[in-house]
Amino acid sequence: MIDRFGREINYMRLSITDRCNLRCRYCMPDGAALCRRGELLTYEELLRVAEAAVGLGITRFKVTGGEPLVRHGCVEFLRQMKMLPGVEQVTLTTNGLRLEPLLPQLAAMGLDGVNVSVDAADPAVYASITGSDSLGAVLRAVEASADSGIRTKLNCVLLEGCEEQILPLARFAAGVAADVRFIEVMPIGAGVDSRGVSSETALEILRSEWPDLRLTGEKRGNGPARYYASACFSGRIGMIDAVSHSFCRTCNRVRLTSTGWLKPCLCYGEGVDLRAVLRRSPEMLSGTMCRAVWDKPRAHCFQEAAGVTERNMMSGIGG
Ligand code: SAM
Ligand code: SF4
């Protein structure tokens, strides 16, 4: 569907849980409040939202969280999403902790891609960011995922003080022939208190090893990443830099939080309560979603933190 600024909205991020088995300090630090279980949308409700979204022309879905693989039944939900008539693409974003044993099922159902979040290549730095010493398991899952034939990408948030992780992570991605994307910290939830590194700084560091990195202009998925290629790097290096480079003019997405709040823009708390609609007046689902998409704001205001009205944690929103 086209919004009031003429943008085609065809992509939805579905957060299926606000629970997580990590505690990344910029996303869900210790003590983060959790919703009550009854506040989460059921899988049936999520499928009804996806069905209505398809009716509006939203045909690509990313399942996220929290950590989606900690919710019981996630794999079956992904399979049902894949089978919904009109759905063109279902992908998953995960921290990778529970990924490896599920890969055969995910490959068999035709999952269209998996993004694994890894912010450091050094186990101690990884533990200091996530509160967990599970880096080895996550890296093994990335290798196995790339081997399984599922399109696999690494996501790495650019944190101040962790600049020395950038090159080793990129080398690791090159070793498994995966793309790696570096993400600027956004001032949402615990991200407000986290200092980040700009994509320009990251590129400077990367060019010390791959001096011929050049912008390709390629689109490799549904996201706003700008991709760089080098003759000596097998995949691509992407930059997702919402803070230093606005890409709102071509934004194609809406988000559904784990409690069923349809968010047209990450930056603002405004949206509609689809859980209430689903539970009280389901016949209004499609019309309500259509109005919310139409009213999607023109742009975020991450450069002026005072304008950011979103108060939830990224773990509930879905990133
Ligand atoms: N648990 C899964 C994972 O880590 O990939 C899915 C949910 S997580 C919220 C989705 C993505 O959002 C991750 O790549 C994470 O690094 C990113 N993220 C979380 N908080 C962020 C912030 N404040 N700024 C930028 N990215 C953030
Ligand atoms: Fe969990 Fe992902 Fe947030 Fe880390 S970024 S706390 S893994 S939801």
pTM (two decimals) = 0.96
DSSP letters spanning 38-84:
GGSPPHHHHHHHHHHHHHTT--EEEEESS-GGGSTTHHHHHHHHHHS
- State the average pLDDT over residues 314-319: 86
> What pLDDT is attached to residue 298?
85
For ligand 2, which residues put their CB under 6 angstroms from it? Answer: 20, 22-24, 27-28, 65-67, 95, 117, 314-315
Please enumerate in sequence order all residues whose Cβ is within 8 A of that of 272, keeping only pairs 6 or more positions apart, or say none.
261, 262, 288, 289, 291, 292
Q: Is the C-beta atom of 223 inside 6 A of ligand 1?
A: no
> What pLDDT is attached to residue 224?
86
Please state the atom number of ligand 1 nearest to the C-alpha of residue 116: 5
**Whose CA is closest to atom 5 on ligand 1?**
94
> What pLDDT is attached to residue 29?
85
Please state the atom number of ligand 2 nearest to the C-alpha of residue 28: 6
Question: For residues 91, 96, 99 and 104, what is the CA-based torsion angle, rounded to 10 degrees?
Answer: 60
- State the average pLDDT over residues 117-137: 97
Q: Give CA angle at 106 (76, 139), nearest 5°.
A: 125
Task: Say which residue the tokens 């059921």 belong to.
Answer: 42
Q: Give CA angle at 222 (217, 224), nearest 5°.
A: 55
Please state the atom number of ligand 2 nearest to the C-alpha of residue 93: 2
* Nearest in space to 156 (alpha carbons), one of 199, 108, 187, 100: 199
Q: Is the C-beta atom of 155 inside 6 A of ligand 1?
A: yes
> What pLDDT is attached to residue 221?
83
Residue 130's pLDDT band (boundaries 50, 70, 90)? very high
Q: Amino acid identity, residue 157?
A: V
**Whose CA is closest to atom 4 on ligand 2?**
24
Q: Is the C-beta atom of 191 inside 6 A of ligand 1?
A: yes
**Whose CA is closest to atom 17 on ligand 1?**
319
Please state the atom number of ligand 1 nearest to the C-alpha of residue 22: 1
Q: Which ligand is nearest to the CA of 115?
A: 1
Sheet strands side by side (includes 60-64): 214-215, 226-229, 237-240, 179-184, 152-158, 113-117, 89-94, 60-64, 11-15, 253-256, 261-263, 272-273
- State the average pLDDT over residues 27-55: 94
Tens of pLDDT, residue by residue over 21-34, are: 999 999 998 888 89
Q: Which ligand is nearest to the CA of 132?
A: 2
d(CA 26, CA 85): 37
- State the average pLDDT over residues 141-154: 97
Task: Say which residue the tokens 């912010």 belong to.
Answer: 119
Flag the least confident range among 167-171, 241-245, 254-258, 304-308.
Answer: 304-308
Mutation test residue for ligand 1: of 183, 302, 310, the one with most atoms within 8 Å of CB: 183
- What's the chain's average pLDDT? 94
Q: Is the C-beta atom of 302 inside 6 A of ligand 1?
A: no
Distance (angstroms) between ligand 1 centre and the Cα of 216 equals 25
Q: Which residues of 56-85 are buried (b: 16+ CB within 10 A; e: fewer)?
A: bebbbbbbbbbbbbbbeebbebbbbbeeee
Q: Is the C-beta atom of 117 inside 6 A of ligand 1?
A: yes
**Whose CA is closest to atom 8 on ligand 1?**
319
Flag whether pLDDT at 208 surpasses 90: yes
Distance (angstroms) between ligand 2 centre and the Cα of 138 equals 13
Residue 17's pLDDT band (boundaries 50, 70, 90)? very high
Please state the atom number of ligand 2 nearest to the C-alpha of residue 23: 6
Distance (angstroms) between ligand 1 centre and the Cα of 213 equals 26
